[in-house]
Amino acid sequence: MISSSPSILSPSRSDALLRATLRGCAAVAGLILVFIFLFLLSAAWPVLREAGPWRFVTDAAWHPAEGLYQLLPMVAGTLYCAAGALLLAVPLGVLSAVFLRFYAPRPLAVVYRRLVELLAGIPSVVYGFWGLVVLVPLIAAWQAPGTSLLAGVWVLALMILPTVALTADAALGAVPRDTLRAAAALGLGRWSTVWRIALPAARAGVLAGVVLAAGRALGETMAVLMVTGNVVAVPDSVFAPLRTLAANIALEMAYAMDLHRAALFVSGLVLAGLVAGLMLLAARLSGESAHASA
Amino acid sequence: MPARNYLSRDTAAAALVWSAAVVVAALFVWLTGDIVWRGAAYLTWDFLTAAPQDAGRAGGIGPILVSTLLLLAVCLAVALPLGLGTALLLAEFTVEDTAFARAVRRSLDILAGIPSIVFGLFGYVFFVQVLGLGFSILAGGLTLACMVLPLLIRACEAGLRAVPHEYRQACAALGLSRGAALRRVLLPAAVPGLLAGAVLGVGRALAETAALIYTSGYVDRLPSSLLDSGRALSIHIFDLSMNVPGGDRLAYGAALVLMLLLLIINATSAWLSRRWSQGRIVSV
Amino acid sequence: MSGLESVISLNRSALEADAAARADEESPPFIETRGLSLAYHGTPVLRDISLPLRRGRITALVGPSGAGKSSFLNCINRLTDLAGGARLSGAIRVGDCDVLDPRTDLIALRRRVGMIFQKPNPFPLSIWNNLAFPLREHGLRDKAELAARIERSLRDVGLWSEVHARLRTPAQALSGGQQQRLCIARALALQPEALLLDEPCSALDPIASGVVEDLIVSLRERYTLLVVTHNLAQARRIADYTALFWLRDGVGVLVEYGATAALFAAPRQAITTAYLNGLRG
């Protein structure tokens, strides 16, 4: 009696060699993530051992040079920025996808889709630069200092909008035509078709896109750093400046020493853990949507 | 419910959808229009080739373009073989390696979402310090390679999976080795997908800033070797706008160049994957 | 012809077939399965199939869809391994080769046993390379020998006169029937001893189907041929032996096997009678 096992599948020696090489490649690729967490952890270890994990949420403030490691204001800044950006980008992005699939005349849809793809291709540093030279002065004219939560939300929203729009577009495109034809045959209006039939059917895919966008918003560094003022404080209004976790790392790595440096790696770990969880969620959701559309 | 209600609701919804589309388009035009309008003046041969002067307030971006290209070259030289090998294993050998493949795939899913600043931290510890590469194009390129790897693998795998299963059956039935089947039938059929993935990876690497600050560094001179520090175009834009008072004007020029490069790259990728999905490429 | 006469003539041909079969039985079959069972991921697909396939004879495999006919073919050259999760038990012998032995060289086995699929599957290469590349991979380096083998196989399938002027053009530009004959030529070029054909005509139009059928008959002398077919008339026309597969409790089993004429004239099983009369299946 036999069953499929690797040993019998690659009878030729060149195949065995090929397979070993490919396995090596895959092992390296798979191990990068492990390496990242290992090295972050080892670099963060000194401060975790010295101060323990709780000081990062109980200390009076973030003054790493004086041994104070309060991360919460920056966690709050990160979450505010990301949440605000999602609040703007999700409705705009989903409506854009609905526009593409159900409202735009064909030639316009082609142009519009290209435009959203272009928007997705613009690098974050260009978004940040534009925010800095165009948006911030505009907001400052209204309410100083201009570098603010509002500017961060605005720039981030623009950055993640294409992600939301393109994944929602793909999810809506995967809704079976027969379902839509059936809705039309029932005499449903266009909006009822979209709202009651198409969007619920595409829910998992749209949601996966939103989660993906959330991950991007949480982890974005440069664009946010350039427009939010980087003051370590929980913002009390949309015009107040703030600092995100990612920006904190980029700003302070240049001169951080010893425990301060280790503390930055802790914030890197927090960030990576947060986003890794979101990515797993997105992978599961898109797996579900693939099932649903299959 | 009277029919008029339906109608007015449909009209309101249409207005909402159209206005969302207009807002997005307007924002896009605003942003790109601004960059193009104010950057166009710098799109000259001199600007593209000259060295930056006075911290970038004058001169051009020649050495920065060279550094950027070197970074991309290192990134691709590492990520392409690694990505292709992994994708081949995931797409062609999963029957035998199910558990291993699943673990690798899960790991790559997470890796795809890791923020670039975290890659920067990792690159700083691992490549710059542990491997002793220092702030160098090599360290930066390797960090970028880690970053684009998931993207590359996903695209390569999609390309391979799009190859009809009949070819694999035919190859096996003819008693061909896996290597021969891959080399002669599967890879040629998957090439456009692989290329599209590679181009996409280049685009991501080109747009990257945060992963490079602490790996390839800031030095804006022409690098003399891969172990020299070199400044990427995106970092140049960041530095000019944040750290150099009066650097805005030339930052516009650099931003326009970067956007044009990405435009070309993304268009190439889209063109490649379109050709691939239409199956027009048949190697004779 | 009266009813009685036709019964007598049927019986006579059945008797002749039986006599031929008895003569065949004196030499061992080239391929033989004994108590072969197949399961995918624990789900049984085939149970306890014992079937001889004789050299120089065409054996037809008939039966309803899902009865495991194609799966049986895939067992013989171990193409079952491609899908993963396949579990084979029992015994398969091809010549002197024990197919289920883990040490079996699959590449050598698959060279000896060619396979033709329902849907023609030429590679996206030129006609020439479709034949040349597998030969080169199997170590044929000599250019003249290569060309000679390619020409011979294309002549064997009657394709030479149709394509010799455009050997460098894409194989996928050929018609469906030509593609299928090219696939047969591709298999023949490796000089196999047996051919497994999985409904080779069912994706073709009637005329192309006839051409391929004639081709299969012309190959009878030199090869051991196993043909899966849905077409009972075709089985009756071309096959020396016929085996009927059936689904029992969701698993494919061999219901009846015998010389074709005898099986069609006087089936021993009630299911066979019903199937042949179009009442079942």
Residuewise pLDDT in 10s, chain A (294 residues): 444 333 333 356 678 888 889 999 999 999 999 999 999 999 999 988 888 888 888 888 888 888 888 888 999 999 999 999 999 999 999 999 999 999 999 899 999 998 998 888 889 999 999 999 999 999 999 887 888 999 999 999 999 999 999 999 999 998 888 788 777 777 677 888 888 888 988 988 899 889 889 988 998 988 999 999 888 888 888 899 999 999 999 999 888 888 899 999 998 998 998 888 888 887 787 776 554 443
Print the domain residue range for B106: 45-277
How far, in Å, CA of A1 to CA of B191, rounded? 40
Task: Determine the residue of chain B that is closest to A278 in CA distance.
Answer: B113
For tokens 């889209």, the residue is B270
Same domain, A252 and A277: yes
Which residue, among A1, A2, A13, would best test binding to C if mutated, counting the most C CBs under 10 Å from its CB?
Answer: A2
Residue B101 touches chain A, beta carbons under 8 Å: yes
Count: domains in chain B: 1
The answer as to whether B38 is a domain residue is no
pLDDT of residue A69: 86
Identity of the amino acid at C267: P
Q: What is the domain extent for residue A54?
A: 10-58
Which pLDDT does position B280 carry in this prediction?
39
- What is the DSSP annotation of chain C? --HHHHHHHHHHHHHHHHHHHHHHHTSPPSEEEEEEEEEETTEEEEEEEEEEE-TT-EEEEE--TTSSHHHHHHHHTTGGGGTS-EEEEEEEEETTEETT-TT--HHHHHHHEEEE-SS----SSBHHHHHHHHHHHTT---HHHHHHHHHHHHHHTT-HHHHGGGTTSBGGGS-HHHHHHHHHHHHHHT--SEEEEESTTTTS-HHHHHHHHHHHHHTGGGSEEEEE-S-HHHHHHH-SEEEEEEEETTEEEEEEEEEHHHHHHS-SSHHHHHHHTTS--
| Residues B24, A96: C-beta atoms closer than 8 Å | yes
A144 shares a domain with A288: yes
What's the pLDDT tens digit per position in B84-135? 999 988 888 877 667 888 899 889 988 988 999 999 999 999 999 999 998 9
CA distances from B211 to B139, B204, B205, C52 (A): 10, 11, 9, 66
Please report whether residue A64 resides in a domain.
Answer: no
CA distance A3 to chain C (A): 4
pLDDT of res. B6: 61
CA distance C153 to C185: 5
pLDDT value of position B5: 62
On whether the C1-73+88-95+226-281 domain is CATH 3.40.50.300, my answer is yes
Q: Please count the other Cβ atoms lying within 10 Å of the Cβ belonging to residue A231.
A: 15
Dist CA B268 CA B153 (whole Å): 18
Compute the distance between CA of residue B202 and CA of residue B212 in angstroms, rounded to an integer.
14
In chain C, where the domains are located = 1-73+88-95+226-281
Are the CB atoms for C81 and A8 separated by under 8 Å?
Answer: yes
- Is B282 among the domain residues? no
pLDDT bucket at B35, cuts 50 / 70 / 90:
very high
pLDDT tens digit at each of 281 positions of chain C: 445 555 555 555 666 666 666 767 777 899 999 999 999 988 999 999 999 999 999 999 999 988 999 999 999 999 888 877 889 999 999 998 999 998 888 888 888 999 999 989 888 888 999 999 889 888 888 999 999 999 999 999 999 999 999 999 999 899 999 999 999 999 999 999 999 999 999 888 999 999 999 999 999 989 999 999 988 999 999 999 999 999 999 999 999 999 999 999 999 999 999 998 886 66
For residue A29, being part of any structural domain is answered with yes
Chain B residues with CB under 8 Å of A99 CB are 17-18, 20-21
Q: Do B10 and A12 touch (CB under 8 A)?
A: no
For residue A171, the SS3 value is: helix
Q: Assess if residue B5 is contained within a domain.
A: no
Distance set, CA A110 to CA A105, A113, A116, B283 (Å): 9, 5, 10, 30
Measured between alpha carbons, how far is A209 from A120 in angstroms, rounded to an integer?
13
Is B11 a member of any domain?
no
Instruction: Tell me the chain B residues in contact with residue C85 when contact means C-beta distances shorter than 8 Å.
Output: 95
d(CA A272, CA A276): 6
- Looking at the complex, does the CB of residue C206 fall below 8 Å from at least one CB of chain A? no
Contact B173 C134 (CB under 8 A): no
Amino acid letter for position A172? L
Clarify whether residues A112 and A251 are in a common domain.
Answer: yes
**CB-defined contacts B:C, below 8 A:** 77
**Nearest-CB residue to B111 (from A33, A221, A249):** A33
Chain B residues inside the 8 Å CB shell of A98: 17
- In DSSP terms, B226 is beta-bridged to none
For C86, which of A4, A7, A12 is closest by C-beta distance?
A: A4
CB A81 within 8 A of CB A150: no
Element (H or E) spanning C84, and its range? none
In chain A, beta strands by DSSP E = 2-3, 62-63, 68-69
Radius of gyration of chain C (CA): 19
| CATH code at position A288 | 1.10.3720.10
Q: Chains near B, with 3+ CB pairs < 8 A?
A: A, C
Q: What is the ipTM of this complex?
A: 0.86
Answer whether B95 sits within 8 Å of C82, measured CB to CB. yes
For residues A131 and A228, state if they share a domain.
Answer: yes
Residue B257 neighbours by CB under 8 Å, 6+ apart: B39, B42, B43, B48, B61, B65, B233
> 12-51 in B: which are within 8 Å (CB) of A?
13-14, 16-18, 20-21, 23-25, 27-28, 30-32, 34-35
- pLDDT at res. C174: 92
Whether residue B26 is contained in a domain is answered as no
In a domain, A5, yes or no: no
The pLDDT of residue A117 is 87
Collect all residues of chain B within an 8 Å Cβ-Cβ radius of residue A164.
Answer: none
Question: Of chain B residues 157-216, which have a CB less than 8 A from chain A?
Answer: 177-179, 182, 203, 206-210, 213-214
**Is the domain of A91 the same as that of A171?**
yes
Query: Once rounded to an integer, what is the mean pLDDT over residues B169-178?
Result: 88
Kindly identify which residue of chain B lies nearest to residue C171, measuring between CA atoms. B284
> Is the pLDDT reported for residue B284 higher than 60?
no
Q: Test B89 with A25 for CB contact under 8 angstroms.
A: yes
CATH code, domain carrying B106: 1.10.3720.10
Asked if residue B240 belongs to a domain, the reply is yes
Nearest to A25 among B10, B86, B251 (CB): B86
Judged by CB atoms closer than 8 Å, whether chains meet at A282 and B113 is answered as yes
Residue B238 near residue B49 (C-beta atoms within 8 A)? no
Cα B239 versus chain centre, distance: 21
CA distance B12 to chain A (A): 9
pLDDT of residue C1: 44
Q: Quick check: is A200 in a domain?
A: yes
Give the predicted TM-score (pTM) of the model. 0.81
CA distance C266 to C14: 8
Cis peptide preceding C28, ω within 30 of 0: no
